[in-house]
């Protein structure tokens, strides 16, 4: 969440940010709630001080055996007021917290202002597009090579589920193994997180009011299935204080991801591009504020190199204010070329969340022992959401006869097999 002092002292900055993100939140109402909340807290503290004074008087009078009946009546009245104000405080605190936590992150100065993806800026393009006389999409290629069964998955799980089969299973695990090893060599510590998170931890990593339509909740339990390992990695160090020599912390994680994909009906309903369950290798970094900009570019560079190793053509887009996630201050997307769609599609999201998650989770650092602790910055990026990368491999490595060449860097993970055939 953003700094409370900012919307109190400079609400116009917050209003401008909301406008640029196309988000409707009544900041005036939030300020009113804050004023009411602080007034209740002030009154409550005043009654508590009075109670302490009366308590002292009672002790003094008891020592000299003086009558305290009148004072006890007064104490009861004050205690009643304290109980009443405490209830009011708790209620308004919860209301205030919910509304404050719904306010998105501030936007980095380098982010283009615009309503949607049409205002995104292309930063870089790499790779040569493969030209075939008869280009197939990943669905036809998967069927031809007996790699996917969506019909039977639908029978047992519903839409947007799938069975991976035969060599595609091996290719999936080859991709995961290569991604983990590649990023580990870059200095990222390997992590496998829990696949379930409680509400408190999840709400520290995301704006839960927005995210609840996306994630799966376990009925009658305080647990959610994770939609990305970014979230447990962000919460892993909640309420911890680091020294500067411990930063940056750099993780690479593998996990399944579960998403409802609510609101995306009619888009990518066929195949395995937009599904309810997939594997993802994710990197996550915790760093000092003055280093997060450079760290963002370093992460992007590492992920770019990964796709160059796979020899998958891509372009890099700097997302506009209206197309960016609410937790991020700045986001790059890497979009891979998909010949079967004759289009570039998102395959990587790489974001600098600045101190937004850190403030919610209480993650801090100190420059020197005993100095005031400061908020860290957190950053994250997809390395591979494997099903999407598999699509990119299948379509970019297809051959005229319908077979699929295995990328050279993945062949050692597949017993040096060079081609997928029916």
Pair 3, 359: CB distance under 8 Å: yes
How big is the CA angle at 47 (ends 45 and 52), to the nearest 5 degrees? 95
pLDDT level of residue 3 (50, 70, 90 thresholds): confident
For the chain, which domains are there? 4-101 (1.10.287.40), 117-420 (3.30.930.10)
Q: Is the pLDDT of residue 59 over 90?
A: no
Average pLDDT for 222-242: 96
pLDDT at 240: 97
Q: Kindly provide the b/e burial profile for residues 30-45, where b requires at least 16 CB atoms within 10 angstroms of the residue's own CB.
A: beebbeebeebeeebe
pLDDT at 264: 54
Q: Which of 114-123, 168-177, 210-219, 221-230 has the lowest mean pLDDT?
A: 210-219
pLDDT at 199: 94
pLDDT at 274: 84
pLDDT in tens, 22-49: 999 989 999 999 999 999 999 999 999 9
| SS3 letters across the chain | CCCHHHHHHCHHHHHHHHHHHCCCCCHHHHHHHHHHHHHHHHHHHHHHHHHHHHHHHHHHHHHCCCCCHHHHHHHHHHHHHHHHHHHHHHHHHHHHHHHHHCCCCCCCCCCCCCCCHHHCEEEEEECCCCCCCCCCCHHHHHHHCCCEEHHHHHHHHCCCCCEECCHHHHHHHHHHHHHHHHHHHCCCEEECCCCEECHHHHHHHCCHHHHCCCCCECCCCCCEECCCCHHHHHHCCCCCEEEHHHCCEEEEEEEEEECCCCCCCCCCCCCCCCCCEEEEEEEEEEECHHHHHHHHHHHHHHHHHHHHHHCCCEEEEECCCCCCCCCCCEEEEEEEEECCCCEEEEEEEEEECCCHHHHHHCCEEECCCCCCCEECEEEEEEEEEHHHHHHHHHHHCECCCCCEECCHHHHHHHCCCCEECC
pLDDT in tens, 233-245: 999 999 999 999 9
pLDDT at 211: 82
pLDDT at 238: 97
Beta bridge partners, 126, equal 314
pLDDT at 58: 86
What is the dihedral sign for C-alpha 290, 208, 282, 347? negative
Ramachandran sector of residue 57 (left: φ over 0; alpha: ψ -120 to 50; beta: rest): alpha
Share of the chain above pLDDT 70, in %: 98
CB atoms within 10 A of CB 125: 12
Pair 217, 211: CB distance under 8 Å: no
Pair 363, 286: CB distance under 8 Å: yes
pLDDT at 268: 61
State the average pLDDT for the chain: 93
pLDDT in tens, 331-374: 999 999 999 989 999 999 999 999 999 999 999 999 998 899 99
98 vs 298, which has greater pLDDT? Answer: 298
CA atoms of 218 and 239, how far apart (whole Å):
26
CB atoms within 10 A of CB 7: 21
CA atoms of 364 and 190, how far apart (whole Å):
22
Average pLDDT for 145-158: 91
CB atoms within 10 A of CB 294: 11
Pair 192, 159: CB distance under 8 Å: no
Beta carbons within 8 Å of 157's beta carbon, 6+ residues apart: 276
214 vs 359, which has greater pLDDT? Answer: 359
pLDDT in tens, 4-19: 888 888 999 999 999 9
Pair 338, 130: CB distance under 8 Å: no
Q: Does the model's pTM come out above 0.95? A: no
CB atoms within 10 A of CB 19: 12
Residue 27 corresponds to which tokens in the numbers above? Answer: 């900041």
Going by C-alpha positions, the residue among 38, 111, 101 that lies closest to residue 359 is 101
Q: Is the pLDDT of residue 266 over 70?
A: no
Pair 333, 350: CB distance under 8 Å: yes
268 vs 153, which has greater pLDDT? Answer: 153
pLDDT in tens, 166-200: 999 999 999 999 999 999 999 999 999 999 999 99
CB atoms within 10 A of CB 76: 10
Share of the chain above pLDDT 90, in %: 78
pLDDT in tens, 268-323: 656 778 888 999 999 999 999 999 999 999 999 999 999 999 999 999 999 999 99
pLDDT at 171: 97
pLDDT at 313: 97
27-63 and 69-101 helices, crossing angle to 10°: 160
């Amino acid at each position: 969440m953003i700094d409370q002092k900012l919307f109190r002292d400079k609400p116009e900055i917050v209003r401008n940010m909301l406008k640029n993100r196309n988000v409707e939140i009544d900041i005036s109402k939030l300020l009113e709630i804050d004023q009411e909340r602080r007034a209740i807290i002030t009154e409550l503290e005043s009654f508590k001080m009075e109670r302490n004074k009366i308590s002292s008087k009672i002790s003094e009078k008891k020592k000299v055996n003086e009558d305290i009946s009148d004072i006890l009546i007064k104490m009861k009245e004050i205690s009643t007021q304290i109980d009443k104000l405490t209830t009011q405080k708790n209620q308004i605190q919860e209301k205030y917290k919910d509304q404050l936590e719904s306010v998105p992150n501030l936007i980095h100065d380098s982010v283009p202002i615009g309503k949607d993806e049409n205002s995104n800026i292309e930063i870089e393009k790499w790779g040569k597009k493969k030209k075939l006389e008869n280009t197939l999409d990943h669905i036809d290629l998967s069927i031809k090579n007996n790699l996917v069964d969506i019909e039977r998955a639908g029978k047992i799980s519903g839409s947007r589920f799938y069975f991976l089969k035969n060599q595609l299973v091996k290719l999936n695990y080859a991709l995961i193994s290569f991604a983990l090893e590649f990023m580990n060599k870059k200095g990222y510590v390997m992590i496998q997180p829990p696949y379930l998170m409680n509400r408190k931890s999840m709400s520290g990593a995301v704006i839960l009011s927005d995210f609840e339509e996306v994630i799966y909740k376990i009925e009658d339990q305080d647990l959610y299935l994770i939609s990305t390992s970014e979230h447990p990695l962000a919460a892993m160090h909640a309420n911890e204080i680091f020294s500067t020599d411990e930063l940056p912390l750099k993780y690479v994680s593998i996990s399944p991801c579960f998403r409802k994909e609510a609101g995306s009906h009619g888009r990518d309903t066929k195949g395995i591009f937009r599904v309810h369950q997939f594997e993802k290798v994710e990197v996550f970094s915790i760093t000092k504020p003055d280093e997060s900009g450079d760290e963002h570019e370093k992460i992007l560079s590492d992920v770019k190199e990964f796709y160059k190793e796979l020899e998958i053509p891509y372009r890099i887009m700097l997302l506009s204010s209206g197309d960016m996630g609410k937790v991020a201050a700045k986001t790059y997307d890497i979009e891979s070329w998909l010949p079967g769609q004759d289009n570039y599609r998102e395959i990587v999201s790489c974001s600098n969340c600045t101190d937004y998650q850190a403030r919610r989770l209480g993650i801090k650092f100190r420059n020197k022992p005993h100095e005031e602790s400061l908020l860290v910055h957190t950053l994250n990026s997809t390395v591979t959401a494997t099903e999407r990368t598999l699509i990119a491999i299948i379509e970019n490595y297809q051959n005229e006869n319908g077979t699929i060449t295995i990328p050279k860097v993945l062949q050692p993970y597949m017993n040096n097999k060079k081609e997928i055939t029916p």
